[in-house]
Chains A and B, each alone.
Chain A
Amino acid sequence: MDNRLHILGIRHHGPGSAASVEKALEELNPDVVLIEGPSDASELIPFAASAGMRPPVAILIYPKGYPEAARFFPFAEFSPEWCAMLWALNHNKSVKFIDLPMQASLVDKLLEQQAEKDRIKDERADDAEAFDADANVDSDIDDDTDSEVDQRSLIAADPLNEMARVAGYSDGESWWNSIVEQSENSLNAFSAIEDVMAALRSRIEGHRQSGDVAKDDNELREQQREAHMRSHIREALADHDGCVAVVCGAWHAPALSQIKNYAVKDDNTLLKQTKPLVGESCWIPWTDPRLAVSSGYGAGVISPGWYRHLWKQTHNTNGIDFNIAQWQSEVATLLRNEGYDASTASVIEATRLCRSLAAVRGLAMPGLVEMQDASLSALCHGELAPLQIIDKKLIIGNTVGSVDESVPQPPLLTDLSRLQKKYRLKPEALGREVKFDLRSESGMAKSELLHRLTLLNVSWGKLNNAEAGRGTFREDWQIEWQPEHAVALAEAVIYGPTIEIAAASCAVAKAQDIDNAEQLSEHVRLCLLANLPQAVSIAISRLQALAATSVEISALMSIVLPLADIMRYGTARNIPLAELKKLTNSIIIEVVSGFRYACHQLDNDASINMRSLTRRFDRAVSMVEGNHLETQWCVALEGVVYDDRAAPLIRGQVTRMLHNKQHFDLSKTASALSLNLSRSIPTDQSSAWLEGFIDQSGEVFVHDDDLFVLVDEWLQSLDGDTFIEILPTIRRSFTEFDAILRRRLLQKTFAVASQAKVAVLDAGASNSLTEDAFQSMLPLLKQLVDLPDE
């Protein structure tokens, strides 16, 4: 081994490794620092030292034109790579990423996956089933992976964790600490780790020689990566006289340090097979929760919060007790914020317990497990629930990094951070609720921003509709920042350089794409909310064109209500009322003229659907100003009442609507009622008609005397046989009401009946006979309205 070459094999995101790297670099004072990272992103390194860079941040790198294939390389302040970068920049040393650049295979894989997804979607579209294509693609990939390879790559991703597990430590960090403590200086620790890794690698892979053929794609890629890193190391050794320090995952350390064992020729052969791609890269803010999942290197941190704590501890000298107390009081603060009692005395007890737990378990430093056990016992009275509530904030953390203003960023991201600052909307990793008052200018602007982002597929905010329904000038949003949003913004850059422009042109593009009336009206609503007038007018005119050519009356009916809603409630916003009104009117006219035919030949389900559509459409018509529309609507409805081909359910409903609108007087309604419930009509039709007529509103029967008398008189007018024949129909209609309502109806019937009885008595009929007749009628009546005997 070249004695100028020093390989620092680390744990990705390991605070212990980071501290060791810092120390080692101080000792070595190398001329050049090489870091395992995509070599095509090397020019981004200098920005790391800018004043405004606050980790967690990540390097986003994607093939030009394919932002969907983006890969991320996240760094926390406790990542050894980050520390190495900062050290080199602060000491004016040259620093470079040496891993393989972006590969063409990435794009191939992406296109393949998309094709697969499309294929699945097409297949499933016929079944019209809800289906999650993404989940399926993922599971397919999982199935393909060989379990042996899986285990190998698992170990390769965090070999130190694996070693720690074998050695009986709870995680890689504690094992690292013990190694560092046992070694005299950090350089010795690194060479010890390299030895361990060399042994581990030879165990797992057998004695693989340089130039051997790789077994599969994964292994080939691994070999290419190491060859690439080696070639950079050779270059650096040739260019510089001083030390060369390489910071890489511990797994790779043996393959890089024994550089003489690998022939330059073999490495070049390997590298010839790679297909580098022109990539675009930039710094983006990252979040704690995203650090916690594996990405990029395939190395995730289970607990960013804990690692941050450990990292802080490597830089203070206050002793173990202080460290424990700091963590426990953090726990107590979070507990207090959630409304639990957590006294200072309990923090002291938790600290003492933690200390003594570590002693019982024979550890020099308490780990996260000891901290948790102590908090559970001393701060939470043994109850898991409070700990679970604060778990996310404590263990994962809520930090969102930020990137310095001077650092070139995708233009939309820059614009967004400008707007975020302007409106004081901080991106937070864990969800938060915000309320906007739309009457104020800033509230409106914030709402517009979130709506525009939604249009751009950046779902930073989710509108809580339930809350929004309460008032027209208030909006409640749930905002939660995900690093993917940066990718979505990078993708959206094709639409324009600022959020406003991009959203506008994206909305216009969408408006021209959508062919479905319902989706289009939803799009109109979104564009209105996002205040994109140009897109709105395009969408409206498209909608008008669609409405004119569309034969689907039901589709048109469904879009009128949202439009009417906007016109009525959208006053808080600046909207093109005239245009909207014109559109709504034209759709209403379209529906009114086609309504009668739309009611023809409907089966059971379709007529139930039509019933709710009619109800909604009717509401919309009454909301829109203009009497002539309403009159025309009534005329159309009347046409349906007497149209035998229209579905009976709708005819009943329409009769009732006309009765309610007082378009039909009592006699007209009564004749329609007896007509449609005549003996000659098949029972299923008459019962459907009655169901439509009652219209799920039995309450009205109790209160509307006219309606009650109408039905009552009709029933009384029936002779015995007819009554018995029609009985099932009536019973079916009334079973829809709940028991209380049926009881009240019965009481009402009794009241009316007893009046009748008095009348009969007055007429001088035989007393006992009437009384008996009435009593004998009661059980039947009860059965009729489906009430149990008392």
Chain B
Amino acid sequence: MAAKKSKPKKASLNQPAEVLYADELKALNAVDDERPEGWKLAPQAVVTYLLGGEAPDGSAVSAKYVGNRRLIETAVATLATDRALLLLGVPGTAKSWVSEHLAAAISGDSQRLIQCTAGTDENQIRYGWNYASLLAKGPSDEALVRTPLLRAMEEGTLVRLEELTRMGSDVQDTLITVLSEKILPIPELDKAIVANRGFNIIATANNRDKGVNDLSSALKRRFNVVVLPLPSSLEEEVSIVVDRVAQIGAGLGLPDIEPAEKELARIVELFRELRDGQTADGKIKLKTPSGSLSTAEAISVGISAWAEAGHFRSGVVDADSLAVNLIGAIVKDPVQDAIVLQEYLETVVRPRKQWRDLYTAIREVM
């Protein structure tokens, strides 16, 4: 779970944000301005890093998050106080993405991460023991196994808690003392770790999924909450998908293909219509599928269509390469969702002349 610092010999599948955007971070860091203790960048620079703009030396900074500026400013301002930040939103609204980049920009390390699951226990949040050492020598500092949280407190960095509400409420409550008093008592050693300046927590949580636990109210009061919405307009969502597909595809080393903006826009439009349960012009009511069809899913459909087009087809993303991937993304429940897609195909896709190829392609596969 702890981040591995050693550099892997083979090319890694995904680079952490601070490595990918090292140049931008460096450019933004060049300014000599006031910043909270323990921060690698000034708060304004962090906002610029996330939303894009221009570094003081004139180099361009790419936008990591496309959306409401006020939300990001609130998030950064929260971290600048000693309040913890909770990013809330439906699946696929870039919660983890924002939290990774915030951590990369503020602490220079986005890898201090605890993935919360139903199986996460207190030992994985606070600290564990090296049992061989514990049995041989008894409780001692050497026998202590540090969690990312403990390390972050000691070193004064950010720690990310992914999917906070997936762990039980009782385990969540472990965080209360850490959040309100910034200390972590270790009774076995009769001492407490006091967090250094720069320490803070960014948690993400889902507010729609079934099967998650409630956020304990004691904890809720200790977070400032920022709700990340789904992209408000088609154009905004398309631009997010196009950018991300290009980044991820390049990162994966996918074969070069013709630009596929049009096809990606089609995916997004289709996803939005199904998600909203009505066509974009608001004239036809539709059934909604069981999946959430988020922006993140649209991106993954784009990537796999790219992969398919690059490896197995002429190198052009077209209706045929989209069809299988679209069905895979939409039909999560073989009975219900198939009906949804069927209805959508017949009532919406078929009458659209420009979508004729898509209709035939999906029909062939289904």
A residues apposed to B, CB below 8 Å: 341, 343, 345-346, 349, 352-353, 356-357, 359-362, 369, 373-374, 376-378, 380-384
Contact = CB atoms under 8 A, between A and B. Distances in A.
Contacts of A345: 221
A357 B226 CA distance: 13
A380 B224 CA distance: 9
Interface in B18-51: 43-44, 47
Contacts of A360: 43-44, 47, 73, 76-77, 80
B205 to A, nearest CB: 10
B104 interface: no
A378 B78 CA distance: 9
Contacts of A362: 44
- A374, A378, A380, A384 interface centre (most CB from chain B within 10 Å): A378
B354 interface: no
A352 B81 contact: yes
A353 B70 contact: no
Closest 7 CB pairs of A and B: A382-B225, A357-B77, A382-B227, A356-B77, A377-B224, A356-B80, A381-B225
A779 to B, nearest CB: 35
B19 to A, nearest CB: 26
Interface residues of B, number: 21
Contacts of B313: none
Interface string B73-107: 11011101101001010000000000000000000
Contacts of B332: none
Given A353-B78, A362-B44, 6 more contacts: A349-B224, A361-B73, A376-B74, A380-B225, A382-B225, A383-B227
A369 B47 contact: no
Interface string B342-366: 0000000000000000000000000
A346 B222 CA distance: 8
B225 A377 contact: yes
Nearest to B180: A345
B220 interface: yes
B220 A359 contact: no
B73 A359 contact: no
A378 B224 contact: yes
A357 B221 contact: no
A356 B81 contact: yes
Contacts of B227: 382-384
B70 A352 contact: no
A144 B73 CA distance: 43
A357 B224 contact: no
A343 B74 CA distance: 20
A198 to B, nearest CB: 34
Contacts of A373: 70, 73-74
Contacts of A359: 43, 77, 80
Interface in B219-258: 220-221, 223-227
Contacts of A352: 81, 83
A248 B319 CA distance: 65
B81 A349 contact: yes
A543 to B, nearest CB: 51
Contact of A357 (B74, B86, B223): B74
Contacts of A377: 74, 78, 224-226
A504 B217 CA distance: 60
Given A360-B43, A381-B225, A353 B83 contact: yes
B279 to A, nearest CB: 26
B2 to A, nearest CB: 30
Contact of B221 (A343, A353, A356, A383): A343
A382 B215 CA distance: 13
Contacts of B73: 357, 360-361, 373
Contacts of B80: 356, 359-360
27 contacts: A341-B221, A346-B221, A349-B83, A352-B83, A353-B74, A353-B78, A353-B83, A356-B80, A356-B81, A357-B77, A359-B80, A360-B43, A360-B44, A360-B73, A360-B76, A362-B44, A373-B70, A373-B74, A377-B224, A377-B225, A377-B226, A378-B224, A381-B223, A382-B225, A382-B226, A383-B227, A384-B227
A359 B44 CA distance: 9
A356 B225 CA distance: 15
A68 to B, nearest CB: 40
A317 to B, nearest CB: 25
Contacts of B78: 353, 356, 377
